[in-house]
Amino acid sequence: MPGSILIADDDTSVRKLLALLAQRAGYEVDEAADGTAALERLRGRDYLVLLLDLMMPDVDGDSIVERLRSSVRRPAVIVVVAYPATGIEGRFEPDVVDAVIHEPYDVDMISTVIMSLAGAVQQKSVDDTVRTRTRKQQTAAEGFCPYCGYEFLPPPAGDNAYIRTAILIHLARCIERPELKDDRDLQRLVDQISDSLEKHFHPDVN
Ligand SMILES: [Zn+2]
């Protein structure tokens, strides 16, 4: 599954070069020519990797790094500097800046760094999703709504449709559930927990 990469650099030629490399590696690319545009893009979408110029007009790269530190979901950050990276090492904490690249640009090295960091972010997001789903299934397997902890009543005897209907009715007004993007979203949530809940109420049925 390809993801997106954001390139924030006010130098058009550098930005185009990096965009080309990222696209050739199979990623969708968004560009930002200054810090304000970069922040706007970061708010609007989850990126795998941010290629970040430190010296941009308005909001500089350091401020963007600072803001990313407090966000839960953040891209891998590659800082791009136009000079050899003396004095750069140790300037950033490794928990926010994942790599530093500088002139002269080694095209193969940059592509490799982009791909490996993007891959790591993608894997982490998959792991998080699996962990969350497992936790939800466990909660449902104990007869509770995985979002708010509401306890579902046992189904009346012989009413096979009860469980899915009860989940649907509850989720429609559950205040803790995720926001719904469309009608199918609610159906998807029902599907996610109904198997576990059915097993809770009918443990003997396979
Ligand atoms: Zn609930």
* 131-147 pLDDT tens trace: 888 888 888 889 999 99
Does residue 69 have a pLDDT over 70?
A: yes
Q: How far is the CA of 195 from the centre of ligand 1 (A)?
A: 16
The alpha carbon of 200 and the centre of ligand 1 are apart by a number of angstroms equal to 17
91 shares its domain with 177 = no
Q: Are residues 123 and 22 in the same domain?
A: yes
Whether the pLDDT of residue 51 is over 70: the answer is yes
**156 Cα to the center of ligand 1, angstroms:** 20
Q: Choose the final residue of a domain: 127, 151, 171.
A: 127
Query: Which tokens in the block code for residue 6?
Result: 């954001």
Question: What is the distance between the alpha carbons of residues 41 and 145, in angstroms, rounded to a whole number?
Answer: 35
| Whether 120 and 173 share a structural domain | no
How far, in Å, is the centroid of ligand 1 from the Cα of 194?
A: 13
Is residue 137, in this structure, part of any structural domain at all? no
The pLDDT of residue 36 is 94
Place of tokens 């982009």: 114
Does one domain contain both 31 and 82? yes
Q: Return the pLDDT at 126.
A: 84
Residues 109 and 49 in one domain: yes
Considering the domain architecture, whether residues 59 and 22 belong to the same structural domain is answered as: yes
Where among 87, 103, 127 does a domain terminate? 127
Q: How far does residue 193's CA lie from ligand 1's centre (Å)?
A: 11
- In a domain, residue 168? The reply is yes
**Whether 122 and 171 share a structural domain:** no
Rounded to the nearest 10 degrees, how much is the dihedral formed by the CA atoms of 115, 116, 117, 120? 120
- Contact between 35 and 10 under an 8 Å Cβ cutoff? The reply is no
Domain limits at 79? 4-127
Domain contains 133: no
Q: Mean of the pLDDT values across residues 27-46?
A: 93
Q: The tokens 């300037």 sit on which residue?
A: 91
pLDDT digits (tens, 9 = 90+) for 14-28: 899 999 999 998 999
Q: How far is the CA of 180 from the centre of ligand 1 (A)?
A: 14
* C-beta separation of 91 from 100 below 8 A: no
Do 182 and 105 lie in one domain? The reply is no
For residue 75, the 8-state DSSP code is: -
Both 9 and 105 in a single domain? yes
Tell me the CA–centroid distance for residue 189 and ligand 1, in Å: 11
